[in-house]
Amino acid sequence: MRLSVLLCSLLIPAAVIVTGCSKTDKVGDKTTTTSTTTTTTTTEPTKPVGPHKVMVSPVSEHSYTPEQQRYCIDLQNRLAEGWRPLKSDHRYSVAVEFLITRPGLCTDVHTVSATGGQRAIERTVDSVRTQSPFAPLPADFKDAPAPFRCDFIYYPEGTASK
């Protein structure tokens, strides 16, 4: 469920918010017009780095606020940019969990599951550690330090990631 909420937030790149109203009133000889105000906000989509995928989600949160979603997307982009996967002829994945403190320090990085070899696991865990510190944890995260899970999926060159 958490992953689907995050993925939906990534697939909806823009939102249009309409405020005010539009109407014309005629009282006697006077005409008054009130127009609408439209605000368009866009969210920056994730920036894919090569064919590989990196997906981040908070472990303890059951629903996300927009601020938490933005934080996860920023965290995901940062980890995707910093991950230097070990080249392989086969697809592999490494899932890690870690804690982020209120000031943004990353602690307790550990592997949850992996289909890659030991060197691929070590390189992925080191990638997470070297990216720390991250942005400070938003106040919307009730627990601090907040636990996160990140799934790294490596696709060999020449294969399409689907």
Contact 72, 64 (CB under 8 A): yes
Is residue 4, in this structure, part of any structural domain at all? no
User: 66 and 19 in one domain?
Assistant: no
| Measured CA distances, 65 to 6, 132, 134, 139 (Å) | 10, 23, 19, 11
Give the predicted TM-score (pTM) of the model: 0.66
Is residue 161, in this structure, part of any structural domain at all? no
> Who has greater pLDDT, 35 or 67?
67
Tens-place pLDDT, residues 88-108: 999 999 999 999 999 999 999
User: 51 and 111 in one domain?
Assistant: yes
Is residue 146, in this structure, part of any structural domain at all? yes
Tens-place pLDDT, residues 133-161: 999 999 988 888 999 999 999 998 866 55
The residue range of the domain holding 14 is 9-41
Rounded to the nearest integer, the mean pLDDT of the chain is 76
Evaluate if residue 120 carries a pLDDT over 90: yes
Q: For the chain, what's the residue count?
A: 162
Q: Give how many domains the chain has, as a whole number.
A: 2
User: 146 and 90 in one domain?
Assistant: yes
User: 107 and 36 in one domain?
Assistant: no
Evaluate if residue 114 carries a pLDDT over 60: yes
| Matching residue, tokens 């909420």 | 5
